[in-house]
Structure 1
Amino acid sequence: MRKKLPEGSLGNFMTDAMLQMAKVNYHMDVDAAFVNYGGIRLNQLPAGPVPRGKIFELMPFDNLLFIQQVKGTVLKEFLDQIATRGGWPVAGLSMQISNKQAVNIKVGGLAIDENKNYVIANADFVINGGDGINVLRNIPVENNGYLVRDALFDYIKLLSQNGKNISAKEENRVSYAQ
């Protein structure tokens, strides 16, 4: 799995883990998950068994996995900020980038509704203004002390218990508009 922009399989793996484990650990439906591109500290994760040390290399920070409920207008503004940065890994939604703006946004396969509330999972670093993202800062969070890194460990364990390989692929979650 590789790290790249606007979408890479390694980022997809990480956000899939965050989305799935946020649902499990917070006992709620979560619409989407995000990880900041700079927070991914390995360029690739080879196929096969993943030693614990590799996950610490991949995510060396003690970032907490926060949950927020945001209006569609706020989600759109956040996605626009992601678009200006060339895209970030996402799960649960897809978008295209056009003129540094997020367009053709679909959450759970449906066009974004700017009046609807969405539940998102994100690292505390981003929510607290990291990487210059300020749109989420003053929105209440759910925080049960669960680390993003632990979400990765738990997701790998879940996949293994279900006989599934640790993998992800590119799925046009984030792409450039033609």
Structure 2
Amino acid sequence: MEIQSPDRLIRLAVDLVNTRTREPEKLTSPAALREFLLEHGEPEPIEVDEDDLAKVRMVREWLRPVFEGDPARAARVLNAMLERYAVRPYLSDHDGTPWHVHVARPGAPWADWLAATTALGLATFGAAHGFEALHLCAAVDCERVFANPAENRPRRFCTPRCATRTRVASYRARQT
């Protein structure tokens, strides 16, 4: 359970929140959670159970408001998560891994690690780019979130597909 790069932390937070949208639930089992962690660079062994799954889903729900466009609320949520789950950062080279920084207590359960790690990543991102760079997709039929660090490229949609679908729907509505 390590921190590698700021981009990884943001991708981890965004992808975690996006495991529950209008699309089918993606964290359906401990095996799905294990696969999520592997896909995000966590090394084996990864052992998770139903309790881990339930707690990670709870972390996911705490993170969603950070993307809803209210910087003060985002800061309150992240500060609360950091206070509850983060510890003073420390360097580790456990299990033969290269030196890396941890912000969750040693041996923390996966949910605690995800809470501390994603809160730190989002707080750092928000401080650097403004919380306005964290968004909910503007498509009415989408609940995905995204981060957009580009200063001169305002982005309202999570993907070009959502942007296109919204533009086409708007065009068709004007034609009737």
Fold shared per TM-score above 0.5: no
TM (normalized to structure 2)? 0.29
> Normalized per residue, which structure has more helix?
2
Which structure ranks higher in relative contact order (CA pairs < 8 Å, sequence separation ≥ 6)? Answer: 1
TM (normalized to structure 1)? 0.29
Which has more radius of gyration?
A: 2
> Normalized per residue, which structure has more strand?
1
